[in-house]
Structure 1
Amino acid sequence: MNTKEVIDRIFKEPGVPFELTEFENLGRPIHEILSVYPKPATTGKDAGKTKYYLKSLIPFSTGNDEVQVYAEGGKSAPEEIVRQLWVYKLMHQYGYRADEIDLEKGVQFGTEVGTKAADIIVYADATKLTPKIIVECKKPKRKDGIEQLKSYMNAKGAPVALWSNGADSIILYRPYPAQFDDTLFDIPKRGQAPKDVLEASKTLLQLKKDFNFKKIIQDLEELVLADSGKDEFNEIFKLIFAKIWDEKEALEHRANKVVEFRKAIDPVITYGRINNLFHKACEEWPGIFKDGEDIDLANRHLQVCVGPIEGVRLLGSNLRIMDDAFEYLLPTEAKKKKGQFFTPRHVVEMCVRMLNPKRTEYVMDPACGSGGFLLHAMDWCYPARDNEQRELRKHRYASRYLWGIDFEQRAAKTSRALMLIAGDGHTNIFGPDVSSLDPRTWYENASGQALMQGLRQARLTATKIPEGETLKDDDKAWEYFDELTFDVILANPPFAGEMKDRKMLARYELAKPALKRAGDDKAPKEERDV
């Protein structure tokens, strides 16, 4: 087998927790960067078998310059491929020299010597006296990898450390003399210090479009969120909405498309900057958060959270990856108590195919949760193979034909964020505290008011609303909004709770048996999903 065939076989093996997507932009194919060659085993139990070795880009600390990566019928070593690609990246993208890098260098812990070895250590210069960056590729589990990195940073005194499995990475930063762990969105290049990375301005074009947001959230949980004492879901969503607003503003109004969602060296400055962006997002999209709400994370916790998020681009990102991350954020208990279950995405896709909505049909999900039905309807009606087509479908389709309502606060935030990421800043997602079953609730808050105005402007009410009508009197709710003219309804309604409002139940054919059972003297009740 040649180099490409060996690498393909290693990374297609079931159970290999490593990937190579981190190295797709190296300028050369991976099989041209690395050299893998066969050697027949002549002794021992493997005699007669062919083993494959990788030529190391720089010698190991032990003096070896090759390592076994594959054996027919035996184990493979995907982490060695990832390690060598990081060496190449460090030298060709970050500018480090071979004599400033050690491989498999022993790390001393207290009085113990050489009990563990760091995969890669990058030094400030060729004297190799001052460790600058430690890279760990061996631990596929993030939690184990992060803990090992922290121990290496402590032992070697390195300010920056990177964990990578070839697809995802997290960068830790120890801002001496501060007494807390921090993060960076990128590692410093040769000649740069961590503060140079922190102070560098970025544009939309520099932000990563390929990333795993669920993994980013898991990293933040491991580093700070679990111990912050705050509502993880709410705080993450504040950051998401602040970032979406900043990207939208950069795209539409700022010269050179410079983004402001980034950390400063001083956590107090970071907090002021990100909290201000959050307030701007609240002004742009009212009704999602409480009036006057601030980011509740402590300065040092927010400082850590901004690092992994600032380097990615949410607008136009992969919606299914974001959907997966948002579902992960919703606590399991909250889903059970409120009857909210994320419909399996293959079931959603089946339902969309069965109903086969057309590009010019209006689609409504009255219990939209994270917006799964709407996102799949968009993919079905307006598939997009590239960024240009994605932009077209935002303006021509998503912002006009897709509508959703959700009463529950977290679900409404989730679907609103996803549609904003998919859309152009205008989204027809309404809630929280807006009941799709009772239009009288629409008169009670800003989101409900926006829903009524939106339906009126899109001419989706069967009854024409008079020109001078201010939509302030909820006695008119059923007169105006009893019948809507959507073409397709796609929903998985919540299966918890009973509806007991006689006036509301009287509006529904399916509630007539419940009203009949109750008579005039008992309170009627019907299951919410009915």
Structure 2
Amino acid sequence: MRSTWDQQQSNTFQKNKIYRMNSFVVMTLADYIEIETTRDELIRACKQAADLIRTRVDYKYILVLLFLKRLSDEWKREYNEALKTLLEKGLSKEEAENLAKDRSFHRFEYPERYTWEELRKNINGLPVRLSEALKLLAEKNPELQGVVDRLDFLEFTRHRDNFDILVQLFELFSGLNLGRASDSILGDAYEWLIGYFAPQKAKEGEVFTPSEVVDLIVRIVDPKPMDSVYDPAAGYARMLIRAYDYVKQKYGEEEARELDRLAEETKKNGVPWDKLKAELGLRVTRL
């Protein structure tokens, strides 16, 4: 009698087709094709995450988890690319695996024992392991200090309900592949989350400017190359980033680099300003 095949589709985020033969898993599509998460899928995941926490939990826990997933996926992608290159150069499997972890192949130094997959192996110990991972990441990458290590997951999960929320968020983001996600896609996700929780944060003194208003202001100001653009309450520098994009689209990338952008911020807002200064050419003053 011929064996029957049935194909099962995993959830929206995993996009991982499992083929079975008499209930025996023989292969997964993810073993052969690296499927990247799209903008729509990422926003959909953010909506689910927001629905999980409502207003009970600070949305910054979502941001940090999302950022950690990006760092982990990016490190894994860089590792696989380096491993392939080293094997093609004739190194043994053991030599290539060890060398592919070298800092020179990676944008950030990421401890392998704290990759997302490793963290997922011990869900009950997740709060402790997350705290350890974020602290170590900040120690090894000075530009991440004050960004990834500003939340205490141990304190957060002292309440059992919060532990359950953390596990659900972690499992939700486990289905994402952010190894090649552009800054634009991640920026859209962050902006959606910030906008969604804006009414709540406004009561605490944090005011969010909708992207439509930011775009309108930039068009009215109509910045040109060699102009200086100053934002006295920069937040996440969205106004300055949009100003750069506006000049780039209108005059070209080379001319856009001549735009002088000055941001003023507070040390406590958790924005990775050193990274932004390096990547976006911002001048920053601190209150």
Deviations 1:327-358 (A, max 9, x none): 235341321441x4333433322322333323
Structure 2 counterparts to residues 236-275 of structure 1, below 5 A: 236-246=62-72, 249=75, 254=79, 256=81, 262-263=116-117, 266-268=121-123, 271=126
Q: Deviations over 1:401-421 (max 9, x none)?
A: 444333385xx44x649x96x
Do the aligned partners of residues 238 and 195 (structure 1) sit closer, same or farther apart at CA in structure 2, a change above 3 Å counting? farther
1:351 alignment partner in structure 2? 217
* Amino acid of the structure 2 residue aligned with 1:305: L
Residue 62 of structure 2 corresponds to residue 233 of structure 1: no
Q: Distance in 1 between matches of 2:204 and 2:49?
A: 26
* Closer/same/farther in 2, CA of residues 207 and 336 from structure 1, 3 Å limit: same
CA separation in 2, counterparts of 1:310 and 1:429?
33
User: Residues 232-260 of structure 1: CA distance to partner in whole angstroms, max 9, x if unpaired?
Assistant: 41211212332444466567x64506897
Distance in 1 (alpha carbons) for counterparts of 2:284 and 2:223? 21
Quick one: distance in 1 between partners of 2:225 and 2:175? 37
Alignment of 1:283-302 (within 5 A): 283=139, 284=141, 285-288=144-147, 293-294=152-153, 296=156, 298=163, 300-302=167-169
Q: CA RMSD in A?
A: 4.9
1:335-374 to 2 correspondences below 5 Å: 335-338=202-205, 340-374=206-240
| Counterpart-to-counterpart distance in 1, 2:216 and 2:201 | 26
Q: Which residue of 1 aligns with 2:95?
A: none
Work out whether 1:133 is the aligned partner of 2:18: no
Q: Which residue of 2 aligns with 1:208?
A: 37
Q: Give me the identity figure in percent.
A: 13
Q: Distance in 1 between matches of 2:230 and 2:266?
A: 14
> 2: distance between equivalents of 1:402 and 1:195?
55
| Larger relative helix fraction | 2
| 1:334 to 2:201 alignment | yes
Match of 1:367, SS state, is coil
Q: Give the AA of the match of 1:282.
A: A
What is the letter of the counterpart of residue 376 of structure 1? R
Aligned counterpart, 2:265? 406
More strand by share: 1
- Give the aligned residue type for 2:241: L
Identify which of structures 1 and 2 has the higher relative contact order when contacts are C-alpha pairs closer than 8 Å and 6+ apart. 2
Residues 383, 208 of structure 1: alpha-carbon distance in 2 compared, 3 angstrom cutoff? farther
Mapping 1:73-472, distance limit 5 Å = 125-126=4-5, 133=8, 160=10, 162=11, 170-171=12-13, 185-191=14-20, 206-222=35-51, 224-226=52-54, 231-246=57-72, 249=75, 254=79, 256=81, 262-263=116-117, 266-268=121-123, 271=126, 278-283=134-139, 284=141, 285-288=144-147, 293-294=152-153, 296=156, 298=163, 300-311=167-178, 313-318=180-185, 321-322=188-189, 324-338=191-205, 340-383=206-249, 397=257, 401-407=260-266, 412-413=269-270, 416=272, 428=282, 434-435=286-287
Name the CA distance, whole Å, in 1 between partners of 2:277 and 2:186.
11
Gapped regions of structure 2 (runs ≥ 5): 84-105, 107-111, 158-162
Q: 1:405 to 1:349 in 2, by over 3 A?
A: same
Q: Do the aligned partners of 1:416 and 1:429 also contact (CA within 8 Å) in 2? A: no
**Unmatched 5+ stretches in structure 1:** 1-123, 135-159, 163-169, 172-184, 436-530
Distance in 2 (alpha carbons) for counterparts of 1:427 and 1:250: 28
**Could you report, residue by residue, the CA deviation over 1:376-432 in whole angstroms, capped at 9, with x for unpaired residues?**
102112239xxxx9xx78xx849x9444333385xx44x649x96x8976775869x
State the alpha-carbon separation in 1 of the partners of residues 28 and 281 from structure 2: 35
TM-score of the superposition, structure 2-length normalised? 0.58
Indicate conservation of the 8 Å contact 1:371/1:404, yes or no.
Answer: yes
**Aligned partners of 2:279 and 2:137: how far apart in 1?**
11
**Alpha-carbon displacement from aligned partner over 1:277-325 (angstroms, at most 9, x marks no partner):** 5335434322235569457564733541332433574433336633541
Task: Give how far 1:368 is off.
Answer: 1.7
Superposition TM-score, scaled by structure 1 size: 0.35
